Structure 1
């Protein structure tokens, strides 16, 4: 049995059902599970490892519900374009250089960036998903992924049959690779790159191969107006209606729709009835001029909201703190109401709400006894974090990834003193620079 103690945290933002905030508190972890949350005044804990929480705030790990980690290597290759222009430019670079070893490298780099910023879980859609998973696990992430589907060959050159075979093999492969608990995922790219018949096939196959294991479906939906127009011209339906017809919205599996900027009232009603979630990516949506998701309308429809960064080619970073702040501010802007999205609500969306969207709400997302220990320490001894009047507002509107000092995933300390305990960072960065040069050349050639 291994014991970890996070000792004497000045504040603990639990994100429990009552949004409890504790003070001067120690959290005890045994074999990866939180077993005790106790006053620091109760005295020292017998533990194999101790993280000093003095002058720090403890919160659950952030959950990124929509990203593309290996695209860290493509950062900055598609600037000043909309979604369609972005895809044209980036897919050319991906086809040229993003083979499995490169994907694994990019995923490690992306997971490292995420973890250093306090993001412990990512829903990651990318080609060569098994390589991406190995890369993210190497850095210590709780990494949710699965095969990507497109009607055509795509940048990875695979046939539809090959993608189906990858999905059938994925549950066993996922179990063999180990790592923190995650669902079996299937990730068709979008309703404009996968036909309705094949979307239905993916859902049916996932239900078959997952068996009694937790499973998840996710795809891009209504990211910009041009996408909606394209799908309507092809099928006379919205992307959400296409998913409903394809058997995605039956309520038996978690479904995460990426972006959801241009959902109709009817779309939101369908998603809510199925218990589906929207992955809100405000940074990417603004950068690509895709539009502004109306947080209040989505929430009031009953659809769960999580927060995502999207990939580094469309948002340019994996900074969940920035995405959290943008989500809160954009909600106020689109509604004209300063109370449209409270700091409590937005922080919950980035932690427990994201975990629930992935079917992991009973596993992570809050600091509670019985949950797995995905935890983050934030250094409060900073001018911009002093004084503390409202800890939720402090986290949403003032804190940033540079304030993260220590990160625990599944009970393992993967970041200590703002440095990875798993990754040789200088060596990784050198390899990434070398491989990124080839990606840049391919993008220029396109």
Structure 2
């Protein structure tokens, strides 16, 4: 039996149904499962982590990202979404082969884990390579086949994509890693026809009734205008027409900034979760999601970073803070409950993926995806309001230790799973090799 005790924690933020915050408490973990929260007397022979001056909370859930784009950080600056896509797709087609995707996913997963993000909903092509790379770093990685009507950056025909979807559950089991749902990821309604969206949703429902369908929706106003001009419908209406909101058990919209009132009605009725990505939305001038209005409409919200080509990093703490500030700005109400933001980044994200019975809160019987923060810092002293501390003061540099599925994957700021120096060296070399090809591809695009 593998037993770990997080002993004498200063604070434990459980994110349970009552948002309970515990003080001076220990957490025991056996074979990946939280077995005790409270006074834990028996520690002989256990792996013991000193929790003094440490705050424990559930691992953060990044509900929309593209991990492998860490290698494309900074290649499309100072442009809007449409120009961004033109540049990035050209670069991806030129350089992002399976080996590069795997390398980028490992680098992205490492960045995420060092910052306390244990689960990522990661949309990227060469999905098998991306999953292998993220799992190697220790992440709970939710990935799956991506879909485009045309060949896309990976050059696959539609039939090959569908074959990849049918094979994905078995391939997922073979690669291994922490438990995750089967996911299918049509890129968007402007890259996938209604007929193809219907096919993806239908096959996903057949092979994985508890699966996740994830797609970009209404990221900026130009996307909505283009979709209306072409189809006389919004992206959400197209998804509804395709049956993509009814079949899959879990549907996650990436961005969802410009949902109309009708869109919000459709999304709320279908139980869709919107992955709010404030960093990339601000940087690309895509717009500001109205947090309070979306919530009032009954739409659950999670938080995402988007990929490093658009947001430039995978910092969930910054995304949480941006989400809180934007919520206050768009509503004109500074009284935004920080607990909502914390829940969006943990249990609500887990619920969106159908994983809330396993992760997202610190409760006996759940898998141990846990993050420890060092409270012995000037900017985290004193602690008057714990949720506000997490949202408005804490940062990824405060993360000391991270557990995923009961395994310590970060210890005292360092990965226990990968050779960080080797990974950084290989990433820099590949990025230098890719830069010339990417620049040429961008010029020709």
Q: Same fold (TM over 0.5)?
A: yes
**TM-score, length basis structure 2:** 0.98
Pick the aligned partner of 2:141 from 116, 140, 143: 143
The answer to whether the Cα contact below 8 Å between 1:13 and 1:21 also exists between their aligned partners in 2 is yes
Alignment of 1:143-162 (within 5 A): 143-162=141-160
The answer to whether the Cα contact below 8 Å between 2:213 and 2:248 also exists between their aligned partners in 1 is no
Q: Secondary structure at the match of 2:100?
A: helix
Q: Secondary structure at the match of 1:394?
A: helix
Partner in structure 1 of residue 30 of structure 2: 30
- Aligned-pair Cα RMSD in Å: 1.0
Partner in structure 2 of residue 349 of structure 1: 344
Q: Secondary structure at the match of 1:316?
A: coil
Partner in structure 2 of residue 197 of structure 1: 195
Partner in structure 2 of residue 8 of structure 1: 8
Change (3 A) 1:220 1:426: same
Alignment of 1:421-436 (within 5 A): 421-436=416-431
State the alpha-carbon separation in 2 of the partners of residues 343 and 172 from structure 1. Answer: 40
Partner in structure 1 of residue 79 of structure 2: 81
Q: Secondary structure at the match of 1:186?
A: strand
State the alpha-carbon separation in 2 of the partners of residues 372 and 208 from structure 1. Answer: 28
Partner in structure 2 of residue 324 of structure 1: 320
Partner in structure 2 of residue 278 of structure 1: 274
Alignment of 1:290-369 (within 5 A): 290-339=286-335, 341-369=336-364
Aligned residue pair count: 441
The answer to whether the Cα contact below 8 Å between 2:347 and 2:361 also exists between their aligned partners in 1 is yes
Q: Secondary structure at the match of 1:443?
A: helix
Q: Secondary structure at the match of 1:231?
A: helix
Partner in structure 2 of residue 236 of structure 1: 232
State the alpha-carbon separation in 2 of the partners of residues 127 and 189 from structure 1. Answer: 10
- How far did residue 142 of structure 1 move? 0.2
- How far did residue 136 of structure 1 move? 0.2
- How far did residue 300 of structure 1 move? 0.6
The answer to whether the Cα contact below 8 Å between 1:251 and 1:275 also exists between their aligned partners in 2 is no
Q: Secondary structure at the match of 2:409?
A: strand
Q: Secondary structure at the match of 2:321?
A: helix
State the alpha-carbon separation in 2 of the partners of residues 317 and 44 from structure 1. Answer: 41
Partner in structure 2 of residue 218 of structure 1: 214
Pick the aligned partner of 1:389 from 366, 370, 384: 384
The answer to whether the Cα contact below 8 Å between 2:202 and 2:247 also exists between their aligned partners in 1 is no
The answer to whether the Cα contact below 8 Å between 2:409 and 2:416 also exists between their aligned partners in 1 is yes
C-alpha distance after superposition, 1:276-326 (max 9, x if no partner): 100000000000000000001110111110000000000000000000000
C-alpha distance after superposition, 1:83-116 (max 9, x if no partner): 1101110111111110000000000000000000
State the alpha-carbon separation in 2 of the partners of residues 134 and 178 from structure 1. Answer: 8
Q: Secondary structure at the match of 1:81?
A: coil
- How far did residue 177 of structure 1 move? 1.2
Partner in structure 1 of residue 250 of structure 2: 254
**TM-score, length basis structure 1:** 0.98
C-alpha distance after superposition, 1:16-49 (max 9, x if no partner): 000000001111111101111013xx53534531
State the alpha-carbon separation in 2 of the partners of residues 393 and 151 from structure 1. Answer: 44
C-alpha distance after superposition, 1:212-241 (max 9, x if no partner): 5x3100000000001001111111100000
Q: Secondary structure at the match of 2:11?
A: strand
Gaps of 5+ in 2: none
- How far did residue 179 of structure 1 move? 0.9
Gaps of 5+ in 1: none
Alignment of 1:98-113 (within 5 A): 98-113=96-111
C-alpha distance after superposition, 1:160-214 (max 9, x if no partner): 111001001000010111111100000000000000110000001111222x5x3
Q: Secondary structure at the match of 1:376?
A: strand
Partner in structure 1 of residue 414 of structure 2: 419
Change (3 A) 1:100 1:44: same
Q: Secondary structure at the match of 1:423?
A: coil
Change (3 A) 1:18 1:47: farther
Within the alignment, does 1:267 sit opposite 2:263 as a pair?
Answer: yes
- How far did residue 251 of structure 1 move? 6.4
State the alpha-carbon separation in 1 of the partners of residues 268 and 6 from structure 2. Answer: 38
